[in-house]
Chain A
Amino acid sequence: EVQLLESGGGLEQPGGSLRLSCAASGFTFSSHVINWVRQAPGKGLEWVSAISGSGGSIYYADSVKGRFTISRDNSKNTVYLEMNSLRAEDTAVYYCAKDRSSGDGMDVWGQGTTVTVSS
């Protein structure tokens, strides 16, 4: 079964850091772009970051550029999102999602992990 499983969410103070993980199974991990998409409480979907299969191409939304870092370890079938200088507006459910093929829509999503930034 094709599956993505996020972990690492929690409560963090403003200015703090968290590292999210997205563990994949059931597909050729190194062949697919993985995205992070977040959803603030009661709000719509916001794309956060993406990393190519090799890790050689990386993209960020302007709202997180310079604060968040995406990476992947293809030997562990895992993508990471290192989040620094957290702000209240980063509070959201964070989903990882796999590209269908060559950036053709996101066809597999994890269940999400909740990040709350509050003092």
Chain B
Amino acid sequence: DIQMTQSPSTLSASVGDRVTITCRASQNINSWLAWYQQNPGKAPKLLIYEASSLESGVPSRFSGSRSGTEFTLTISSLQPDDFATYYCQQYDSYSLTFGQGTKLEIK
């Protein structure tokens, strides 16, 4: 199975900050990667698909990029609603796999 290594596990930041979350795949997955946001007690929400495509309705402060097997999710200017947990997920091949998650906390 493809392993997804996500970092950091926790990130403390302030409103207005620019933050980056990284996900590394254990092998080539092309650009078959999605990013999700999850708030406590809620279902995940798709933010980014195909590594860098913004899902409809998602604010443009969210962006994704790829360099080889390393993927990044960037939030350009944190808003209060952005403090949540973020997951990457590869869909290059089954079994689908998620990263361990990054909890974004208010500093």
Query: What is the 8 Å Cβ interface bit string for chain A, positions 20-62, against chain B (1 contact, 0 not)?
Result: 0000000000000001010000001111001000000001111
Q: How far is the CA of A59 from the CA of B94 in the complex (A)?
A: 7
Which secondary structure dominates chain B's binding surface? loop
A50 touching B94, Cβ below 8 Å: yes
Interface check B44, CB cutoff 8 A: yes
Asked if A59 meets B43 with Cβ closer than 8 Å, knowing A44-B100, A104-B50, the reply is no
Q: Is A67 an interface residue (CB 8 A)?
A: no
Are B55 and A112 interface neighbours, CB within 8 A?
A: no
Q: Do the beta carbons of B43 and A111 come within 8 Å of each other?
A: yes
Q: Does B49 contact A (CB under 8 A)?
A: yes
A105 touches B95 (CB 8 A): no
Q: Does A109 sit at the interface, judged by CB under 8 A?
A: yes
Chain B residues lying within 8 Å of A107, measured Cβ to Cβ, are 46, 49, 55
The B53-107 residues at the A interface (CB cut-off 8 A) are: 55, 87, 89, 91, 94-101
- Cα separation A50 to B91 with both chains bound (whole Å): 12
Please list the residues of chain A having a beta carbon within 8 angstroms of any beta carbon in chain B.
Answer: 35, 37, 44-47, 50, 59-62, 95, 97, 100, 103-107, 109-112
Pick the 5 closest A-B CB pairs, nearest first. A105-B49, A105-B34, A109-B43, A47-B96, A59-B94
Q: 15 additional contacts, CB 8 Å, given A45-B36, A103-B91, A105-B55?
A: A35-B96, A47-B95, A47-B97, A50-B96, A61-B95, A62-B95, A103-B32, A104-B49, A105-B50, A106-B34, A106-B44, A107-B55, A109-B45, A110-B43, A111-B43
Q: List 5 A-B contacts (CB under 8 A).
A: A44-B98, A44-B100, A50-B94, A103-B32, A104-B91
